[in-house]
């Protein structure tokens, strides 16, 4: 049995880079240092794998050669009037860059999973920017941590132990040197380990953020209670925030998926800005997929915009609500789709899925999902961080090289190579 050390986990935005993978006869036999999500991924990644490219004939998916699948994918995308592309957060930055080139070539829309995740966070940050830092700074210096509408013990299990309250930093060495505040509708597992748990009524984040701002600015709160939280508790928390040395606000999709959406983020930024008049305070969204930050970064450096980019006019346009894939599908406008490393048939609202099932879908993904059922062309790939190497961005925007641990099954190529083949084929069809 051999050990591969310092492996980077391809699950959540923490990108923990200290895993040890045990390999026996070319197969993964064990995982050290991983959380339950990570271990489950490494030990089950080969389940429900798709082994051969497939093309739908007479309503059934039939195995075919890679060349035929690539040709069919190229034809579908090149001949569409308004093709859309979605996914991109569970693949490498190299693949994302190629995908953007491809969608520019066919004059379509390219979007990533932030549209149904932290898209509103990105919109909020557009307005005024946000003060942030790396997770290393937080680990070494932060003495007050807020998780607002986020439950990292379930969604990012090692976040607390690697980067925040339970981490051993250079200047903050133990749990009792840090204060943990959790704001949530439910008393979550994370709330149970908090020093302060603020139970907020659902959909009242904007009100509570406003009240906290009022208290932080030293103004009088008129209401006895805001969002189910008593005035004296709001004032107590405001005092805590002001008197810390290095505070950080992590926020989850509880702020982006509920009423107000990006306006909640706008207000959270304003609160952190106010706090910087008194102390050092930073903020960071709890990004979910392991490379969703990379998707935003690559989109931005190549097109100027972080998601929902429309090339149909020949130049990049960005107008979430109009150019977001969710809205385009709900309005029934797209006439072909390229899905990469994602399962929108499971994750989109029904009306969007209904339209997706009516149009030809090219799916590039290693495993069977609900989206396989509605795909016209399916091209399986090797998995980043397990079978192939590449670049991903951690939630704090630090690019990290993902290692290869074992060889992929015969015939499976990385996403980036498949996308390059489709792009080359489209260009050849159009006379180079």
Partner 1 sequence: MGDYPNLNNVGLGYPHLKQIGGDQGLKRIKAVLITGRSYSQGMGIEFGKLSQQYRRIMNYCEMNEEDMKEIGVTAGSLVKLKSRRGELVLKTARPLQEVPRGVVFVPYGPWINKIIDEETHSTGMPSLKGIEVEIEPAEEHRAEGREEGGERLE
Q: CB of residue 8 vs partner 1: minimum separation in angstroms?
A: 17
Nearer to partner 1, 79 or 201 (CB): 201
Cα angle value 84/88/91 (rounded, 5°): 145
CB of 351: closest distance to partner 1 in angstroms?
5
Q: Which of 143, 163, 159, 161 is nearest to 151 (CA)?
A: 159
Q: What tokens does 373 get?
A: 């059922």
E-only strand ranges, 201-265: 225-226, 229-230, 246-251
99 vs 119, which CB is nearer to partner 1?
119
Nearest to 355 by CA among 321, 326, 318, 377: 326
CA 402/CA 393 separation, integer angstroms: 10
The CB-of-350 to partner 1 minimum distance in angstroms stands at 5
Nearer to partner 1, 372 or 391 (CB): 372
CB of 432 to partner 1, least distance (A): 36
The footprint of partner 1 (CB under 8 A) covers 11, 36-37, 40-41, 44-45, 47-48, 111, 115-116, 119-120, 123, 151, 154-155, 157, 185-189, 191, 199, 201-203, 225, 228, 253-254, 256-259, 261-262, 288, 307-308, 320-322, 324-327, 330, 343, 345-353, 367-370
> Minimal CA–CA distance to 77: which of 43, 102, 47?
102
Enumerate residues 6+ apart whose C-beta is below 8 A from 419. 95, 98, 99, 102, 340, 364
DSSP output for 72-123: HHHHHHHH-SSEEEEE-TTS-HHHHHHHHHHHHHHT-EE--GGGGTTHHHHH
Tell the smallest beta-carbon distance from residue 381 to partner 1 (Å). 17
Least distance (Å) between residue 31 CB and partner 1:
12
* Contact assessment for residue 3 and residue 28, using Cβ atoms and an 8 Å cutoff: no
Q: C-beta of 323: minimal distance to partner 1 in Å?
A: 8
């Amino acid at each position: 049995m051999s050990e591969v050390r310092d492996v980077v986990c391809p699950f959540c935005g923490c990108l923990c880079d200290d895993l040890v993978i045990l390999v026996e006869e070319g197969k993964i036999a064990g995982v050290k240092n991983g959380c339950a999500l990570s271990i489950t991924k490494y030990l089950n990644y080969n389940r429900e794998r798709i082994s051969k490219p497939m093309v739908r004939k007479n309503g059934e998916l039939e195995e075919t050669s890679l060349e035929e699948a690539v040709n069919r994918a190229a034809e579908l995308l090149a001949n569409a009037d308004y093709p859309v592309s979605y996914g991109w957060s569970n693949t490498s930055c190299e693949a994302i860059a190629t995908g953007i080139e491809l969608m520019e070539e066919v004059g379509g829309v390219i979007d990533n999973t932030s549209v149904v995740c932290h898209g509103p966070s990105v919109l909020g940050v557009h307005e005024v920017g946000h003060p942030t830092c790396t997770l290393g700074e937080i680990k070494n210096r932060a003495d007050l941590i807020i998780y607002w509408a986020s439950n990292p013990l379930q969604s990012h299990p090692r976040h607390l132990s690697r980067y925040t309250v339970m981490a051993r930093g250079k200047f903050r060495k133990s749990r009792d040197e840090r204060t943990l505040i959790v704001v949530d509708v439910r008393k979550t597992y994370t709330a149970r380990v908090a020093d302060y748990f603020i139970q907020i009524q659902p959909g009242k984040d904007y009100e509570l953020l406003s009240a906290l701002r009022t208290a932080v600015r030293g103004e009088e709160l008129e209401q006895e209670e805001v969002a189910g939280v008593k005035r004296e508790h709001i004032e107590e928390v405001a005092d805590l925030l002001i008197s810390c040395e290095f505070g950080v606000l992590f926020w989850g999709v509880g702020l982006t998926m509920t009423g107000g959406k990006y306006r909640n983020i706008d207000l959270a930024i304003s609160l952190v800005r106010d706090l910087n008049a008194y102390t050092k305070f930073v903020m960071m969204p709890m990004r979910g997929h392991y490379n969703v930050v990379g998707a935003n970064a690559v989109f931005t450096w190549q097109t100027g915009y972080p998601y929902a980019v429309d090339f149909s006019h020949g130049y990049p346009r960005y107008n979430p609500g109009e150019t977001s894939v969710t809205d385009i599908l709900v309005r029934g406008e797209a006439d072909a789709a390229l899905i990469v490393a994602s399962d929108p048939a499971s994750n989109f609202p029904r009306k969007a899925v209904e339209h997706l099932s009516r149009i030809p879908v090219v799916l590039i993904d290693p495993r069977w999902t609900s989206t396989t059922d509605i795909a016209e062309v399916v091209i399986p790939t090797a998995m980043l961080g397990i079978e192939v190497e590449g670049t991903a961005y951690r939630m704090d925007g630090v690019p990290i090289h993902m290692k290869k641990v074992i060889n992929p099954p015969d015939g499976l190529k990385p996403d980036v190579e498949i996308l390059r083949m489709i792009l080359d084929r489209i260009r050849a069809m159009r006379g180079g």
